[in-house]
Structure 1
Amino acid sequence: MSAAGPLRVVSWHPYPSKPRYVPPLGAVDAHCHVFGPMADFPFSPKAKYLPDDAGPDMLFALRARLGFSRSVVVQASCHGTDNRATLNAIARSGDSCRGVAVVDPAVNVAELEALHASGIRGVRFNFLKRLVGDAPKDKFLEVAKKIEPLGWHVVVYFEADILDEMVPFLEAIPTIVVVDHMGRSSMSEGPEGPQVSAFKQLLDEQPKIWTKVTCPDRLSAVGDPWDDFAAVVRPIVERYPDRVLWGTDWPHPNMEANIPDDGHLVDMIPRIAVTQDLQQRLLVDNPTRLYWL
C-alpha cells in the first residue's frame, strides 16, 4: 500500500483479514472502484475528495484474498466523466471485470458503443449532493434512452430522504435500474422501519428495479459486526432473490474515519443470504446475468 500524498486520503484497510466465508466458484464483487493512479488518470477538477492511488493491482490482490473471481468496477465520482481509470482496470483484468461508467449527458451513440466494446455495461447517476453539484434528471433520462439498445442498465445513488421525489424518475427509466446501497435506508429503524418499508414498496411496485445489499460500514448505526444491517437486509435478500447484488465498495470512498475490514464485509454474506441457493444467486447468477451475458 502506498502512503498518502499531500491532501490525499487513504480509505481502505491496510491488512484486511481473510474471511471465514468462502464464496462460490465464479463469485462477483459487483461494486468496487479504482482510484487513479493519478499520474496516469488525473482526478476531476470538480472532485469533492482526493484519494490516494488504488489501482487495478491492488484490486486484483484483494479480490484473490477474499475469494472472488470477478469484479464490477463502478466509476468513482472523483474521476468525473473521464472513465479511463475504470477502462484501464477492465482492460487489465483478462475479461474478469466489467464496468459502470459515468458519462456526460451529451454522450453520443458512437461513444457509448466504444464503451460497450471496452466492457462497460451500465451508467451511474449520482444524486448525493455532497459528491456532485448537479444531477439533471431530464438529461439523465435522455442518456437512459440512448443506452437501452445496448442492453445496459442504470445505477442510481441517492439517499433515503429523497426517495419520494425519485420515484417518478426511476419509473421513467426504460432499462433495469440498480439502486446503490438500498437507497441508504436507515438500519437503526429495523426491518419494518419507515425508510426500509418505503424502499421495499418501491421494489414491489417496480420489478425492473434491483438493489445492492452493500455497505454495512456506511449504513449500520452500531458498527462492526453490523448486527442491525444483517437484521434488515436478510429479509430483502429473501424477498427479492433475483434482484440483489453484493459488493465490497472497496476502496471505500470517504470512509477514512471508519474504514471497514474487507474480510468482515465478506463474512456478512452468509448472514444476509443464509442458504447456498441465495448465495449463488446473489454472488454468481444475478451479476452474471447483468454483466456477462
Structure 2
Amino acid sequence: MTTLSPKTPGWLDWYADPSRPAFALPPGTVDTHCHVFGPQAAYPFAPERKYTPCDASRVQLFALHGHLGVERAVIVQATCHGADNTAMADAVRAAGGRARGVATVRPDVTDAELRRLHEAGVRGVRFNFLKRLVDAAPRDDLAAIAARIAPLGWHVVLYFEGADLPELETFFASLPTPLVIDHMGRPDVTRPASGPEFSRFLRFVDRNDVWVKVSCPERLTVTGPAALDGERHAYTDVVPFSRRTVEEFPDRVLWGTDWPHPNLTGHMPDDGLLVDHIPLVATTPEHQRKLLVANPTRLYWPGEGV
C-alpha cells in the first residue's frame, strides 16, 4: 500500500462551506482558472513538487461550481503534479465537454501525447516564472514547447510577478501563440493602478495577442477580505486594477476562482464572496457577459455563438 505524504505544515485547506453569492452569474459562465489536487491516493503528487496540498478532487470542484452557478471550467495543471497531467485530463474528460484543460509539458513531449491531451480537451500550456514554485524557466525549452503547440491552436498561459515583466516581455512577445496572463500579472496593489508599473503591463497587453485573467483578489490583496460598511465588498484594494483592465480590454478579459487556492498563507477565501466581487470590477451587464461568458467561450469553445 502506498504511503500518502502529509500536507505541507501550515497548509490552508479550501473553504468547505462557501456562502451562496448575492450576484447571480449569467448562464454560460466559465471559471477559467481552477485546479484539482489528486486525490493523492489515485493521482500521486510529483516527487519534485514544492508543496504537498490537501486533496481537492474533480467531484468537489464540480460541486462547488454547481453551488456558485458556474457552467463550464478551464482546469489548469497544478504544479504539485509536475508534468503528469493525468488528474487534470481525467477531470476535463469527466466534465463531458463542459471543461477545457491547460497542461504542463516538457520539451521532449511526444506528438502522440500532445494529440492525447488535445483529444481530452487541453487547449494550452502553462509557463511558470515564480521562483518559489519552480526551480527554473529555461527560455529555449519554453520557446520549443510553444512552437510545438502552435499548430494545435493552443495558447500559452503565463504566471509571473508584475515586477519581473521588464525582463520577460521581449521573450513573451516572441512566442508564436496567443498569451493568457494569470491574475493580471500579479501587480503590487499598494501602488496606484494608474502608475507606471501597471500601465506598462497594460501597454504590453495592448501591443500583443494577450488575454488577461482578472482573478485572485485574495492573492493580491493587502487589505484582506474584510467587508466594507457591512456589505460583501471585500478585497477593495484590488478593485482599481481589475476595473481598469476590464474597462480598457473588455473583449480580452477572463475570470476564474483559482479553487482550491493553493499556497495561501493569510486566509482561505469564501468562493461565494469571490463571485460577489465580480460586479465591483465588471460594473455593467455587458462587461459582465463578456468577462464571464463571451470571452472564455470564444477562446476555449470557438465557433459557438454567444
Q: Report the TM range for the smaller structure's normalisation.
A: over 0.9
> What amino acid is the match of 1:209?
V
Inter-CA distance 12–172: structure 2 relative to 1 (3 Å threshold) = same
Q: Percent identity?
A: 51
Which of 263, 284, 287 matches 2:293?
A: 284
* Aligned counterparts, 1:120-269, within 5 A: 120-206=122-208, 208-224=209-225, 225-269=234-278
Contact 1:11/1:254 (<8 A) preserved: no
2:65 aligned residue: 63
Instruction: Give the SS at the match of 2:212.
Output: strand
Equivalents in 2 of 1:111, 1:5: separation in Å? 28
- How far did residue 256 of structure 1 move? 4.5
Contact 2:12/2:267 (<8 A) preserved: no
Equivalents in 1 of 2:128, 2:158: separation in Å? 6
Instruction: Give the SS at the match of 1:178.
Output: strand
- How far did residue 190 of structure 1 move? 2.4
> What amino acid is the match of 2:167?
E
The TM-score with structure 1 as length reference comes to: 0.96
Is 2:87 the partner of 1:98?
no
How many positions carry a matched residue from both structures?
A: 289
Equivalents in 2 of 1:129, 1:275: separation in Å? 37
1:20 aligned residue: 22
1:6 aligned residue: 6
- How far did residue 10 of structure 1 move? 4.0
The TM-score with structure 2 as length reference comes to: 0.92
Equivalents in 2 of 1:152, 1:187: separation in Å? 31
* Aligned counterparts, 1:32-71, within 5 A: 32-71=34-73
Give the ranges of 4+ consecutive aligned residues of structure 1 lying more than 2 Å apart after TM superposition.
4-11
Q: Unaligned stretches of 5+ in structure 2? A: 226-233
2:230 aligned residue: none
Task: Give CA-to-partner distance per residue, 1:62-93, whole Å, 9 cap, x none.
Answer: 00111110110000000000000101111111
Equivalents in 2 of 1:81, 1:232: separation in Å? 32
- How far did residue 193 of structure 1 move? 2.5
Equivalents in 2 of 1:177, 1:203: separation in Å? 9
Equivalents in 2 of 1:189, 1:175: separation in Å? 31
Equivalents in 1 of 2:257, 2:5: separation in Å? 24
Contact 2:129/2:160 (<8 A) preserved: yes
